[in-house]
Amino acid sequence: MYSSIQTKMENLNKEKKIIFSIIFLYILSLFISKFGISLFGGILAIYSIYYFFKNNKSKDFILPFFIFIFGLTMQFFSLGGARSFRVFSYKNYFLLILPLIPILLKDIKKIYIVNTIAFSLFIGILKSFYNFYKDYNLQYSSSIRVDSFFDIMRWGIILVMGLLIILPYLNKKRIFLWIVFFLGIISLALNNSRGPILSLILGIIIFIILKKKIKLGIGILVVLISAFFILKSTNVLNQFSDRMESINNTKSGGNAARIFMWKKGMSFMTDSLKENKKIFFFGTGINNRKKIFEKYLIENTDYKELNDDVKVAVSFDDSHNAYINMFVQTGFIFTIIYYIMLSYYTIIVFINYFKYKHNYTLSSLLPLIAFYFCGIFYGYSFTYETFTFFFILGMGLIKNDLSDERG
């Protein structure tokens, strides 16, 4: 009998070691490897289903599992049909991973997780510097857009989320985190994505307000001033300033195109309520929007009257807004239920932070706010950075009072 119990314990320990190794490999992949996200994320999704049935169908799993199955069903009835059903299945299994994350991370010392994220982010930042050298010969201009292991817009969003995870853990003892944060600011300036830059500023302001840490605020200011002088010495600052000032230009170029896409994305859906209710309620289907929306725009007189510099920046398969993208691709029913779920989990993270006030939950809360803010400017529904977002959301759902992690 004792031997049988010992064997079971050894098997359990083996299972734990394997799954903890996979979760850390998954964390490493979130900032540097699409393949790693797909591979280790897929393993975690399968393990999550196994865990659900093994533990008497734990209620924490029911909501995200329901959303996943409901989304599959809605996609089957969309214009994309079976094809969009298949695409949804492999682009949204982060929903299956979500309830597993707080369970796996609960008993791990949180600074280990933050350091793992910082190390992964550091590699991604170095890759962006290499790309700056390779693609631009270290010559900055307001038009350059430096990427990393992910493309330009994805890298900007992922980078900001990583920096805001690190932010609550910055102190005089954690030199490596300061180095990563400093280099990340420079990488973000090279990325030149205005939405992520604004979201980082917003995150830092919220952090200082919540933590009331004047000394740390001064430290962050020193980092920004240091980055300022480095950028100034290479003539980056003037070009960067021009890039930021372009936010106010809504009459031409990318900004005008973005506003046009927002308006036409919404009008497309309101018109579909009259002309094709299937699109309104179930959407065009994931990866099935381009031809449908292109036909709608080309037949639209407003599109024909656009200036050439605006017209060339208009995208037929992306509204440059995550919320409108979701609405168009998945329809009214799923969009409402999906964002109700996100609101519910985000409120839990808020409650966890204000209840326990520990850095770890703040490391989740700040990137969530940044991600929601960036969604106004970028259509990142069902992409790799969404896996990073849902991992960070899972971090904030840990329920126990981590007294050793208090600020």
pLDDT tens by residue, 221-230: 676 666 656 6
This prediction has a pTM of 0.87
Match 């420079």 to its residue by tokens. Answer: 186
Q: Residue 307's pLDDT is what?
A: 67
Residue whose token pair is 């966890």: 352
Residue type, 274: K
Confidence grade of residue 305 (pLDDT, cut at 50, 70, 90) = low
Q: How sure is the predictor about 87, in pLDDT bands with cuts at 50, 70 and 90?
A: very high
What is the mean predicted confidence (pLDDT) over 325-341? Answer: 94
For the stretch 236-246, pLDDT in tens is 555 555 554 44
Q: Which residues contact 234 (CB under 8 A, 6 or more apart)?
A: 138, 140
Which pLDDT value is given to residue 81?
Answer: 93
More confident residue, 55 or 191: 191
- pLDDT at position 13: 79
Asked if pLDDT for residue 169 goes beyond 90, the answer is yes
Integer Cα distance of 212 and 201 in angstroms: 16
**pLDDT band with cut points at 50, 70 and 90 for residue 289:** confident
pLDDT at residue 387 is higher than 70: yes
What average pLDDT does range 25-54 have in this prediction?
94
Return the pLDDT at 301.
64
Predicted local confidence at residue 236, as pLDDT: 54
Residue 138 has pLDDT above 80, yes or no: yes
Closest residue by Cα to residue 23 from 124, 90, 102:
102
Average pLDDT estimate for 330-342: 95
152, 378 Cβ separation under 8 angstroms: no
Rounded to an integer, the average pLDDT of 8-14 is: 58
- What pLDDT sits at residue 160? 96
Convert the pLDDT of each residue in 243-276 to its tens digit.
544 445 555 556 788 888 888 889 889 899 888 8
